[in-house]
Chain A
């Protein structure tokens, strides 16, 4: 197996873990919050899911930069100015901030849960779509603008789902 294939496989595995983890984190969090109390076994499940999410994040970052170094060493530097790549780099930064927001004790717990959850869910799906949609031909500001719209859609949908389930976060 050559280095490129190796990094692509790791990148895909990381994205699968991250997107799947973000989905299950959302489902398990809603399930845990329904009765208003997160039981110890529910907290344990969530801890495992967040660990999987972080592993996915680390795999995506390491393999992504592996691919960037390969592009430079193999004289494919033109890929490094692709708007899609820069949008993915911004998504990585958003994911990193999202993880901190989840853990931040300096934020009110309500803000931490609502914002952290929306950032993580929206960013992982955005990363998945950007990774798969190879023919996407939009400028960097347009892609980021689309992400901002997507983030608010996720925030709104999560709000309505919580309200429908009678969850007060």
Chain B
């Protein structure tokens, strides 16, 4: 593989993983009854930057390399469903993930001072659920990515 595309793929995985970890950290921070500002702030920032970076590097890899060099290998190999199902599901799930994360980040940064106020438990729980859903979807996307990568042989 061309070093540029190898770098794009590695960046796609690393940034996506950072995003998944960040969303998970935000979920962790919002699940407790004691404030965890630093974890929440850094987690949300990692999630947002990570998903957008993964989005961009994944797009470069997908549009310039995957379609020509990887997809035909998968479709002619033992696991054609890895493209037909896993890649299709992965890219559609991933399309909206950065934007849901943007929503989460805006809500957290907008309401940061109010989140651990006892009158706003419902708000914190709703944001915790959203962060949990983002982390879970990101983890599913990661697993689908492993399935796609494993089919290239």
Q: Is the CB of A72 within 8 A of B9?
A: yes
Given A78-B153, A80-B149, A73 contacting B28 (CB threshold 8 A): no
Is A61 a contact of B17 with CB atoms below 8 Å?
A: yes
Q: Nearest chain A CB to B80's CB is how many angstroms away?
A: 14
Tell me whether A62 and B17 are in contact (CB under 8 A).
yes
A104 to B14 CA separation, bound complex (whole angstroms): 28
B152 within 8 A of A: yes
Binary contact track B130-153/A, C-beta < 8 Å → 1, others 0: 001001000100110011011111
The answer on a CB contact under 8 Å between A80 and B146 is yes
Q: Give per-residue flags for A85-97: 1 if the beta carbon is below 8 A from chain B beta carbons, else 0.
A: 1000100010010
Interface residues of B in 94-123 (CB under 8 A from A): none
Per-residue 0/1 for A71-83: is the Cβ within 8 Å of any B Cβ (1 yes, 0 no)?
A: 1110101111100
B1-45 vs A, Cβ < 8 Å mask (1 yes, 0 no): 100001001100110010001001001100111000000000000
Known A73-B6, A73-B9: A78·B17 in contact at CB below 8 Å: no
Min distance, Cβ B2 to any Cβ of chain A, angstroms:
11
In the complex, which residues of chain A have a beta carbon less than 8 angstroms from the beta carbon of B149? 68, 71-72, 77, 80
| Cβ contact within 8 Å between A77 and B150 | yes
Chain B residues with CB under 8 Å of chain A are: 1, 6, 9-10, 13-14, 17, 21, 24, 27-28, 31-33, 79, 125, 132, 135, 139, 142-143, 146-147, 149-153
Instruction: Supply 17 A–B pairs (Cβ within 8 Å), ascending by A.
Output: A61-B17, A69-B10, A72-B149, A73-B1, A73-B9, A77-B150, A77-B151, A80-B150, A81-B150, A89-B146, A96-B135, A96-B139, A99-B28, A100-B31, A103-B32, A105-B33, A106-B31
Since A58-B21, A80-B149 are in contact, a sample of 4 more A-B pairs with Cβ atoms closer than 8 Å, ordered by chain A residue number, is: A65-B14, A71-B149, A103-B28, A103-B32
Residues of chain A at the chain B interface (Cβ within 8 Å): 58, 61-62, 65, 68-69, 71-73, 75, 77-81, 85, 89, 93, 96, 99-100, 103-106
Counting from the closest, the 8 A-B pairs by CB-CB distance are A80-B150, A105-B33, A72-B149, A81-B150, A103-B32, A77-B153, A77-B152, A104-B31
